[in-house]
Amino acid sequence: MGVFESSIAAFLAPIADYLADEAVSEVLINGPKEIWVEKKGKLERTSAAFTDETALQAAVRNIAQFVGRKIDAENPTLDARLPDGSRIHAVLPPSARSGTTVAIRKFSKAAEITFDKLISFNSVSAAGAQFLTVCVELGKNMIVSGGTGSGKTTILNLLGGLLPAHERLMVVEDASELQIKAPHVVCFETKAANFEGKGALAIRDLVRSAMRLRPDRIIVGEVRGPEALDLITVMNTGHGGSMGTTHANTPMDALVRLETLAMMGDTTIPISALRRQIAGAVHLVVQAKRMHDGSRKLSHISEVLGVDEHGNYKVQDLFKFMQKGKTADGKILGEMEPCGVLPTFMQEIEVNGHHLPRSIFAKPGAVITSAAPVAKAASPAPAVAASRAMAPQAAAPVAQRPATVAPTSARPPMGMAPKKPGPTGGGQAA
Out of 41-45, 75-79, 105-109, 250-254, pick the least confident.
Answer: 105-109
In which band, very low, low, confident or very high, does the pLDDT at 87 lie, cut at 50, 70 and 90?
A: confident
Selected residue with higher pLDDT from 389 and 313: 313
Question: In terms of Cα–Cα distance, which of 118, 119, 206, 102 is closest to 157?
Answer: 118
Asked if residue 294 lies in contact with residue 152, where contact means CB atoms within 8 angstroms, the answer is no
Query: How far, CA to CA in Å, does 163 sit from each of 49, 83, 183, 211?
Result: 43, 26, 9, 18
Residue 397 has pLDDT above 70, yes or no: no
Residue 5 has pLDDT above 90, yes or no: no
Residue 260 has pLDDT above 70, yes or no: yes
**Residue 115: its H or E element:** helix 115-120
**Mind listing the domains of the chain with CATH numbers?**
3-105 (3.30.450.90), 110-400 (3.40.50.300)
pLDDT for res 191:
83
The single-letter DSSP state of residue 121 is: T
Residue 406 has pLDDT above 80, yes or no: no
Q: Which amino acid is at 359?
A: S
Cα 387 from Cα 215, distance rounded (Å): 16
Question: DSSP letter string over 214-260?
Answer: --SEEEES---STHHHHHHHHHTTT-TT-EEEEE-SSHHHHHHHHHH
Asked if residue 377 lies in contact with residue 354, where contact means CB atoms within 8 angstroms, the answer is no
How crowded is residue 382: how many other Cβ atoms within 10 Å of its Cβ?
A: 14
Taking the CA atoms of 116, 118, 120 and 124 in sequence, report the sign of the dihedral they define: negative
How crowded is residue 189: how many other Cβ atoms within 10 Å of its Cβ?
A: 17
pLDDT tens column, 21-30: 888 989 999 9
Residue 265 has pLDDT above 90, yes or no: no
**CA angle, residues 99, 173, 185, in degrees to nearest 5:** 140
pLDDT tens column, 113-141: 789 999 999 999 999 999 999 999 999 99
pLDDT for res 400:
43
3-state secondary structure of 281: helix
Question: In terms of Cα–Cα distance, which of 24, 100, 38 is closest to 63?
Answer: 100
pLDDT for res 23:
86
Residue range 3-26: mean pLDDT, rounded = 87
In which band, very low, low, confident or very high, does the pLDDT at 199 lie, cut at 50, 70 and 90?
A: confident
Residue 379 has pLDDT above 50, yes or no: no
Asked if residue 142 lies in contact with residue 283, where contact means CB atoms within 8 angstroms, the answer is yes
Out of 84-88, 289-293, 372-376, pick the least confident.
Answer: 372-376
Query: Which ranges of 121-178 would DSSP assign to H, the alpha helix?
Result: 126-138, 152-160
Task: Give me the chain's average pLDDT, please.
Answer: 84
The CA-to-CA distance between both ends of the chain, in Å, stands at 56
